[in-house]
Amino acid sequence: MPTGTLEVIIVEGRHLKDRDLIGQNDAYVEIYLDKKYKQRTTTISNSNNPVWNERFTFNIHKNEDTIHFDVYDADLVGRDSIGNGKVKLKHVFDDNRFDEWVKLPAHLGLGSHGEIHVIMNFIVSSIDLDAQA
C-alpha cells in the first residue's frame, strides 16, 4: 500500500434523505480514515442538495485502505445521521484520481439516502518513488 498525501474534495450532495420534520437538512460531511482524526465540511443550511466545494488533505499510512464519509443533519441539539458511504483507496491509488458520486445506502442496502460527489487525488510520497525505481 503506497504512502503519500490524499487530497479530498467534497463537491456536493444530491437527494439527501430529509431528517427534519420542518424544512430541509442542515447537512455536513465528516471525512476520516481513522476515527481518531476526522475532518468536516461546513454546515449548509436548509438544503437536500448542498454544495460544499471544500478541500481536505490526509496523510496516507501503510495500513489505511478505506476512506469514510458520514453525512449528518445538524440540529439545535445534536445531529441526525443522513447516511454514510466509503471508498476503498485502491480505486484512488490505481489512477491517482477518483471523481464519482458516492452512494449513501439505506439499511441493508435497500434504497438510498442520497449521494455525495467526491473528487480525490493521490500524491505518492517521494520516498515511495525512490523505492519503486
**Which one, of 79, 80, 66, lies nearest residue 120 by Cα?**
66
Q: Could you give the domains of the chain?
A: 4-132 (2.60.40.150)
**Predicted TM-score (pTM) of this structure:** 0.89
> pLDDT digit of tens for each residue in the chain (133 aa)?
678 899 999 999 999 998 767 778 999 999 999 888 999 999 999 999 999 999 999 998 878 899 999 999 998 888 999 999 999 999 898 888 999 999 999 877 678 899 999 999 998 886 544 444 4
Amino acid 1: pLDDT = 65
Which three cell numbers, joined as nine digits, stand for 85? 458511504
Q: Where are the alpha helices (DSSP H) in 1-133?
A: 90-95, 126-132
